[in-house]
Structure 1
Amino acid sequence: MNEIVRENTTEKGNAKLVYILYLVGLLFGIAGIVGVVIAYVNKSDAPAWLQTHYHFQIRTFWIGALYIILGGILALVLIGWFILLFWAIWLIVRSVKGMQALDKGLPIAEPKSWFF
């Protein structure tokens, strides 16, 4: 029984690490890339409720990449800076909400959502 609990704690720790790496990625972009790799590696072996977190994290990375590319291109026209600011706030909110659900042992309600 202790082995099962320990394994579950490790799996939750990996998912939490991804959320933390995404937040660190706001300052050091490579951390976000490391985070998505961890999410891809752990997704298939995780229990169903934890797979929703990994799916949410993978979508967060790719949607965020889209926002960054769009914001970077449009930064020349000034509106891109607002898109990049939105991306930063969006990433923080998604990561914090994900960590809160993870700490409670809950799955992500809508892992395919684009917003929060």
Structure 2
Amino acid sequence: MMNKEYNIGVEVTMDVIGGKWKPIILCNLRHQVMRTSELLRAIPKISQKMLTQQLRELEEDQIIVRKVYNQVPPKVEYSLSEYGESLGTILDLLCTWGETHADHLEKEGVFVKLNCED
């Protein structure tokens, strides 16, 4: 096992869920189990390769669970692990802040298109 050194707690958090795609993947898995194809539809700008890489890293960090069904064609589903569900409050706050910031930008005259189901 490798040693890791951090200077502040947020560094540890960002090491696990940081980057462009991981928070978006986690928010999509927050309330539902999803297959790879469903995640690709929900996150249209991510490539299959990047999605696969990010899912593997999240699985290695025990944030998500990958369930493989023994059938043809193969079926794989992803969900938050029990440990991953502990990120729920953080994910909710990130989403809420983003919606508030989108409103702020619109008040500043910036057109913001937010495609969410709220």
Which TM-score applies when normalising by structure 2?
0.29
The answer to which structure has the higher helix fraction is 1
Greater RCO between the two (CA within 8 Å, min separation 6)? 1
The answer to which structure has the higher strand fraction is 2
